[in-house]
Amino acid sequence: MRLVFATNNPHKLHEIRSMLDNRFELLSLHDIGCSEEVPENGATLESNASEKAHYIFNKYWVNCFADDTGLEIEALNREPGVYSARYAGEQKNPADNIKRVIEKLQDKTNRNARFRCVISLVIDGRETQFEGIVNGKILTECRGSDGFGYDSVFLPDGYSQTFAEMPLDEKNKISHRGRAVQKFILFLTNQNV
């Protein structure tokens, strides 16, 4: 089955490709000739994922999916949440975002956080959403050089390595995106799509 992943993030594309088996041919936006920025104007992860998936389906008439992911920190009233990619500004600089999170948590003892991912799948115009959540803590400094976004400061519960220190296959088994993708694959398998 051919599916388009409605993202311009090469890290997300690589992660998802590593999770899918050969039943799926995963195409990028570049593969379908889409070079514009896909809109995400929603106030929630669910609405952003939906908007991106419908935008690609309605413009290119291809079965597709999109995700939106947020880091939700308890002591910051679930910030940065839907604004995770641009928490430190519209330039979407991951290092600046991490710096802002660490600074805002400087005097906090509660460092509990979770990553939440919502995937919107649009097949023949019908949408289905899948959610994945992983709980953990925010560290006081970065550890690891793999991964992207907040991976270097996020320590998942029950693990001694941040997402940025883990091998990709291990991260994919427990991550928010990995959990959402597992539900997504199970859905497609059960639908015989």
Enumerate the active-site residues.
68
Q: Give me the amino acid identity at 163.
A: F
Dist. CA 33–CA 162, nearest whole Å = 36
The 10 Å Cβ neighbour count of residue 12 is: 18
Asked whether the CA dihedral 86, 54, 37, 62 is positive or negative, the reply is: positive
CB atoms within 10 A of CB 120: 26
Question: Helices 10-19 and 176-190 sit at what angle, rounded to 10 degrees?
Answer: 50
How many residues are recorded in the chain?
A: 193
CA separation for the pair 182, 161 (Å, rounded) = 22
Cross-strand partners of 121: 65, 128
Tokens of 44: 């929630």
Q: Measured between alpha carbons, how far is 128 from 18 in angstroms, rounded to an integer?
A: 22
